[in-house]
Chain A
Amino acid sequence: MSDIAFRCEGLVKRYGDLVAVDHLSLSVRRGECFGLLGPNGAGKTTTIEILEGLLGPDEGMVEVLGLQWGSHEHELRQRLGIQLQETQLADKLTVEETLKLFRSFYNRGREVSELLQLVELESKRRSWVSKLSGGQKQRLSVACALAGAPDLLFLDEPTTGLDPQSRRQLWGILERFRADGGTILLTTHYMDEAEVLCDRVGIMDQGKVIALDTPKALISTLAAPKVITHYGTLEDVFMSLTGRHLREE
C-alpha cells in the first residue's frame, strides 16, 4: 500500500478569466494532518472540492488513496469523510436521525450511538438540528463525515465562526481521529488552529501554494526577521506572505 494518502499535479481550474487554481501540486502522506491556509478567494475551497471529486479540474491529475475519481468514484466515496463549508443539515431531523441517514450510505463504520459519543452529542440525540448551537451543528457535520470510518477526512473551514470552547472541542475530535491513523486535509483561517493541528501547512494565494512546510519551519524562516519584540507565530508568516490584501484595502 502506497504511503501517499492523496496527491495532485498541475491542477488548473478557471472560471472565465479568473484562474482559481493555478498549476497546483500537492502530496500528503497517510496519517498526516495537512492545513491549507490562505485569504478568502485564494482557491482553497476550489482545490479541496477538486480533491473531493465534486469539481473536475480543467487540467492536472488527482489521485486519492491510489485511485482516480473517474474510475473509482463509489469506492472512494465509501472511504472518504467530507465536510463542506456551507452545508446546512435538515432543520427538522434530530441529531440521531441525521446521523442514521448518513451512516446508512456506508458499508462500514461505527454504530450511530458510538458516533454520538465521539462528538459529544449524546445528550442532544433527540434534539432537532435547528435547536443546536453553531458548535453542536459543526460537530454533527463532522460526525456525518466520520460515519463511514474514513481513511481520509476533508474539512473545509470546520471551525469558522465558532467560539473558542467549541473550536477546542472540535480539535479534540480531530486529534482522536488522527490517533487512530486517519489522514486529514483541512482549510482554515485560524493560524493557531493550523499550528496546533497540522504537521505541515501550505499557504495559498491567487490559486498557488506560495509556501509549504511544517508550521515550525515556516515560522523560523519567514517570520523571524520581522519579529523583534515577540516570538514569531504562523500569523506573522501569513501576513508577510499575503499582506497585499491589507495594503490594497
Chain B
Amino acid sequence: MTRGGASHPLVELTMARLREIFREPEALFWAFIFPILMSVAMAVAFPSSGAAPVPIGVRQGDGAEALRATLAASKTVAPRLVLAGDEERALRDGEVDIVVVPGTPPKYRFDAGRAESRAARLVLDDALKRAAGRREPWTAVEEHVSVPGSRYVDWLIPGLVGMGIIGTSVWGIAFSIVQARMRKLLKRMVASPMRRSHYLLAQVLARLMFLLPEVAIPLLFGRYVLGMPLRGSLLSLAVVSLLGALSCGAIGLLAASRTKTFEAISGLINLILLPMWIASGVFFSASRFPEVVQPFVQALPLTALVDALRAVVLEGAPLRAIGSELAILAVWGVVPFAIALKVFRWR
C-alpha cells in the first residue's frame, strides 16, 4: 500500500482539523486566552490576603461623622458615609453590607436574606458596643486556621474547568461538523474511500489536544496565584478530564448528527449547555435544588464532571472514590455516541 507522501488517514484527518483550529484566531482565544482572563478576573475578585474589613454605610446626618470615626478605629469594619437617598443603591450593589443610622439606639438597615449582611450586623453590633464601653464577660481565645480549599474561589475554579471542558467539546466538535456538512464537504468525504469512523474519531482526537492547556491553565493559576490546594494525583485528574472531554464530545457529535445550519446548532447547544451551567453546580452548589429534582441534577454529565473534579482537586480523592461520577460520565459518552453513529447524516 502506498499513500503517495501522505500519512495514515486518521493522522491526516486529525492534523487537518488541528490546522483549521490553529488558523482560526477566535478558536485560539477561547481555548487559551479565555481561561487566563477568567483566572485573572478571579484573582482580582477573590484576593487571597486574609479577611477584608466589612463595608458599612453610615447615614449622613447628626452624629454621623463621630460614629464613622468610632467605627474607623475598629479594625474589623470599613465605614463610609452614605446619603439617605443613595442607601438602597449602595446596599443593592454590595458597596456596603449594612447601613447604620446614628441615634440612641442606632438603627441597622440590612437585608436579612443576605448572608454577608447578617454577618455584617454581628460585626457592626460588636464594634459599636465595644466602643460604647461594653464589659466583656470573657474574651475567647481565637485561633486562626486557614483551611485551603474552603474558600469560594477554591470551590469555583474546578467548576469553571468543568464548564470549559464541556463547552469546548460540544461547541468545537459540533460546529466543525455542521460547517463541513453545509459546505458539502462531508458528502465529498464519504464519496471517497475514507472510513467514517476515522472522520469522527479525528474530530474527537483534535479536540483532546486542547484539553491540557484548558485544564492546566486555570488549575495552575489557582494553585500558584490564588493558593488553591491541588491535592489529587495527576493521574486521577487526567482520567477525569479525559473521560469528561470524551463524553461531552459524544454529546457534541450527537447534537451535530443531523443539524444543517449554524443557527440550528447554536440554539441546540445553548439548550443543552445553559441549563447545565445553572443546575450542575458550577457557580453554586447543586445541592441547593430540592430533593425531588436531585436525581436529574445528579445524572447530568456536567454535575458528574464538576463533582469529580472538585473531589480530585480539593480533597485528593482517589479514582475509586469517584466511581459513580466516572460511571455517569461513561454512560454519557457511550449512549450519545451510539445514537450519533446511527442517526448521523453524512450528506
Contacts and interface: CB of A to CB of B under 8 A. Distances in A.
Interface string B11-27: 11101100110011000
A111 B5 contact: yes
Nearest to B3: A104
A113 interface: yes
Contacts of A144: 188, 192
Query: Which of A74, A88, A128 has the largest number of chain B CB atoms within 10 A?
Result: A88
B104 interface: no
Interface string B192-216: 1110000000000000000000000
Nearest to B193: A77
Interface stretch (A23-31, A90-98, A217-225): A90-98
B184 A77 contact: no
A89 interface: yes
B192 A110 contact: no
Interface stretch (A57-65, A79-87, A177-185): A79-87
A97 B19 contact: yes
A90 B4 contact: no
B1 interface: yes
A128 to B, nearest CB: 8
A88 B23 CA distance: 18
B20 A93 contact: yes
A103 B5 contact: yes
Nearest to A154: B191
Contacts of B8: 104
A113 B180 CA distance: 26
Nearest to B24: A92
B185 A88 contact: yes
A88 B184 CA distance: 7
Contact of A89 (B3, B5, B185, B187): B185
Interface string A108-122: 111111110000000
Contacts of B20: 90, 92-93
Query: Which of A101, A104, A144 has the largest number of chain B CB atoms within 10 A?
Result: A104
A103 B6 contact: yes
Contacts of B16: 90, 93, 97, 101
A110 B19 contact: no
A148 interface: yes
Q: How large is the interface on A (under 10, 10 to 19, 20 to 34, 35 or more residues)?
A: 35 or more
A114 B2 CA distance: 14
Nearest to B183: A88
Contacts of B6: 100-101, 103-104, 112
B7 interface: yes
Contact of B19 (A86, A93, A104, A113): A93
Contacts of B7: 100, 104
Given A87-B184, A87-B188, A107-B2, A74 B193 contact: yes
Given A86-B184, A105-B193, A112 B5 contact: yes
Contacts of A88: 183-185
B194 A87 contact: no
Contact of A84 (B1, B12, B187): B187
B148 interface: no
B17 to A, nearest CB: 9
B1 A105 contact: no
A111 B180 CA distance: 26
B9 interface: yes
A128 B20 CA distance: 11
A78 interface: yes
A62 B20 CA distance: 38
Nearest to A98: B16
Nearest to A77: B193
A147 B189 CA distance: 13
Query: Which of B24, B188, B194, B347 has the largest number of chain A CB atoms within 10 A?
Result: B188
30 contacts: A54-B191, A54-B347, A77-B191, A77-B192, A77-B193, A82-B191, A87-B185, A87-B187, A88-B184, A88-B185, A90-B180, A92-B23, A93-B16, A100-B12, A101-B12, A101-B16, A103-B5, A104-B3, A104-B8, A104-B9, A104-B13, A105-B192, A106-B4, A106-B193, A108-B2, A111-B5, A112-B6, A114-B4, A148-B192, A148-B193
Given A106-B3, A115-B4, 13 more contacts: A54-B347, A78-B193, A88-B183, A88-B185, A90-B16, A90-B185, A97-B19, A101-B6, A104-B6, A105-B193, A111-B5, A112-B5, A113-B5
Interface of B: 1-9, 11-13, 15-16, 19-20, 23-24, 180, 183-185, 187-188, 190-194, 347
